[in-house]
Chains A and B, each alone.
Chain A
Amino acid sequence: MRFVTVALAAAGIAACGSSFPPPNDEYSAAQADVGRAETGGAPGVPDARLHLQLAQEDLQKSKGLIDGGDNKRAADLIAVARVEAQLALSLARQDQAEGQARSAQADLAKAKGGQ
């Protein structure tokens, strides 16, 4: 009786792991997010670059997990990779916008100083 219970539990675990489909679409979406962060200026902004690297690492790990059949864990890591990439892009946008604001304010101060 004990043997049957263990066997069923093991079969159940195996069934759960293998029944989770490979998160291929999510993986592609995460790659696209990383690409947008890269072209959006994240590599040039220290904070953004850090989160971009985290996204790339998570994405790399998730690939290994998919290859190893741990699709559920891979899906979690891909979800994290996506928000890391999105944050990298947002930080790059913030940096650019703040730089433009500083430049515009400097232009204004210069114009007022020349009055």
Chain B
Amino acid sequence: MRSGILVSFLAAAGIVACGGEVPAPKALVDARADYARAKGGVTLQLDPTDVHEADLALQKAELAWSDSHDPNDEHAIDLAIIAQRKAQIAMAEAAAQKAQQDSQQAKSDLAATVQAQLQATRGQLDKTQQNLALTQTALQQTAAQAAEQKKELADLEGKLREARDTIAKIAAVKDDDRGMVITLQGEVLFKTGKWDLKPAAMAKLDQIADALRGKEQPMVVYGFTDNVGATDMNMDLSQKRAQSVRDYLVTKGIPSDLIQAEGKGPSSPIAENTSVEGRAQNRRVEIVVQPKKS
């Protein structure tokens, strides 16, 4: 009996000693660690159901271990493995959910980015189309203006031709780099040494004024003399004669701001001054109709 009590005491002591010394099996230690990871991270937020399953499985494993305290208890080890796997399942499912959320977010961001790019492109396209429309309108206006100007030019040229034909009947007409030059002989316009217009000259100038009126072209009336007499006198005479013609044309409707007078004296002869005929040709008035300024 005494020996039986002793054996029982030693056995109890042994169990206590073993309870304190026998380490938990590695499977259970791993299960505890993985469960702690699952419970401590985002896994609990994302997959609480599987974390709960792992919790229940771990409780079973802990209970089996506390019952046996046998590191080789296959049942307890299996329960620990199951608990660990359930914790790992929870983490994997949570990671999958997180990845799906990331994927969804990226797709949503992509859609927003593409939409923004599309809107920007549409905006640019609209702006380009507006600019194109403006350019087309401007181009059409320019083309219309050009056509109008071309028509005006054609009309003007037609009128000029008519005027030229009309003037050519009463005076010499030619073109040079100054424009259309109408030449009237001095004898036709003035008495010798005078600058008052003869009545016949006025009749001719009336026809010239009729032809040139409304053309809006600048004109210069040049007076010329032969080389007989003092140059100063000839310069003065040619200036007065040119002024007489200019003033008369103004009274006949040629705008005063478009017509000027200038005496050239004996300069620029068109014939020799050695003969009567040559000097007669040099005594002249030229009305130069300049091209219209654009």
Contacts and interface: CB of A to CB of B under 8 A. Distances in A.
A75 B92 CA distance: 25
B85 interface: yes
B95 A94 contact: yes
A76 B114 CA distance: 54
B78 A98 contact: no
A83 B82 contact: yes
Interface residues of B, number: 26
Nearest to A90: B92
**Do most interface residues of chain B lie in helix, strand or loop, or is the interface mixed?**
helix
Given A97-B99, A97-B100, A115 B92 contact: no
Contacts of A108: 106-107, 109-110, 113
A79 B102 contact: no
A73 interface: yes
B26 interface: no
Nearest to B82: A83
A104 B110 contact: yes
B89 A86 contact: yes
Interface string A70-108: 000100110110011011001101101110110111011
A111 B114 contact: yes
A4 B6 CA distance: 26
A112 interface: yes
B106 A87 contact: no
Given A80-B78, A104-B106, A93 B96 contact: yes
**Do most interface residues of chain A lie in helix, strand or loop, or is the interface mixed?**
helix
Interface in B96-140: 96-97, 99-100, 102-103, 106-107, 109-110, 113-114, 117
Contacts of B102: 101, 104-105
B117 A115 contact: yes
B191 interface: no
Contact of B92 (A76, A77, A91, A100): A91
Nearest to B99: A97
A100 B99 contact: yes
A45 B89 CA distance: 15
Nearest to A100: B103
A23 B179 CA distance: 122
B210 interface: no
Interface residues of A, number: 28
Contact of A76 (B74, B106, B110, B117): B74
Contacts of A104: 102-103, 106-107, 110
B281 interface: no
A79 B78 contact: yes
Contact of B85 (A83, A105, A114): A83
Nearest to A95: B96
A16 B79 CA distance: 20
B86 interface: yes
Contacts of A79: 78, 82
B27 to A, nearest CB: 10
Given A83-B82, A86-B85, A111-B113, A93 B103 contact: no
A97 B82 CA distance: 24
A86 B90 CA distance: 10
Given A101-B100, A111-B110, A90 B89 contact: yes
Given A100-B99, A101-B102, 4 more contacts: A87-B85, A101-B103, A104-B106, A111-B113
Which A-B residue pairs are the 7 nearest by beta carbons? A97-B99, A104-B106, A90-B92, A83-B85, A101-B103, A101-B102, A97-B96
Interface of A: 51, 73, 76-77, 79-80, 83-84, 86-87, 90-91, 93-94, 96-98, 100-101, 103-105, 107-108, 111-112, 114-115
